[in-house]
């Protein structure tokens, strides 16, 4: 398995996985906009892909960088971490997270953070097995109908 930045040529492999990640509830306009942001070097939205030896996309991780009030350096928000169901429990998600961590160290980000739903047992177990204690609750206000 190899991990690398998502590239324009990966769209056809990424799209079905992203639809599964979103439980097929996200409009194609949003998915296409997300993809355009991921591959646009002027955006601060990025994607990593995990590929098998044949070059098939098995999972991805999306993240964005932003300013914060506690540090001069950017913070990183890991927004999506998804591994295709047929390839789970093979260390792919772990590898994607550690690759993100390595990038963060090289680029000197202030921190990496993310959210996971309490009832997402698989995600909670992954983070627990990585030695990461999830200790924040998320409260969201929807600003659009």
pLDDT at 18 over 80: yes
**Where do the domains of the chain lie, and which CATH numbers do they carry?**
2-129 (3.40.630.30)
Residue 78: predicted pLDDT: 87
Segment 104-140, tens digit of pLDDT: 999 999 888 877 666 666 665 666 666 655 555 554 5
Residue 24: predicted pLDDT: 85
Residue with the bigger pLDDT between 70 and 13: it is: 13
Write the CA distances from 131 to 36, 52, 126, integer angstroms: 34, 26, 9
Name which of 85, 121, 80 is nearest 100 in CA terms.
Answer: 80
- How far is it, in rounded angstroms, from Cα 90 to Cα 112? 23
pLDDT at 91 over 70: yes
Write the CA distances from 91 to 26, 49, 73, integer angstroms: 27, 13, 30
- How far is it, in rounded angstroms, from Cα 6 to Cα 10? 6
Segment 48-75, tens digit of pLDDT: 999 999 999 999 999 999 998 888 999 8
State both tokens at 64: 């964005």
State both tokens at 135: 């200790």
Burial of 42 (0-12, 13-18, 19+ CB in 10 A): exposed
pLDDT at 29 over 90: yes
Write the CA distances from 57 to 1, 18, 30, 97, integer angstroms: 10, 11, 21, 16
- How far is it, in rounded angstroms, from Cα 120 to Cα 105? 28
- How far is it, in rounded angstroms, from Cα 32 to Cα 17? 13
pLDDT band at 25 (very low <50, low <70, confident <90, very high): confident
């Amino acid at each position: 398995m190899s991990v690398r930045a998502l590239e324009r040529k990966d769209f056809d492999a990424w799209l079905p996985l992203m639809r599964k990640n979103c439980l097929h509830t996200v409009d194609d306009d949003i998915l296409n906009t997300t993809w355009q942001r991921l591959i646009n070097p002027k955006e601060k939205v990025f994607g990593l892909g995990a590929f098998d030896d044949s070059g098939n996309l098995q999972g991805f991780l999306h993240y964005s960088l932003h300013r914060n009030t506690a540090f001069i350096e950017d913070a990183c928000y890991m927004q999506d971490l998804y591994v295709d169901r047929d390839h789970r429990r093979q260390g792919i998600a772990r590898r994607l997270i550690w690759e993100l961590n390595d990038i963060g160290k090289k680029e000197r980000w202030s921190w990496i953070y993310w959210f996971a739903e309490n009832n997402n047992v698989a995600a909670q177990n992954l983070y627990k097995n990585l030695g990461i204690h999830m200790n924040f609750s998320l409260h969201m206000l929807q600003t659009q109908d």
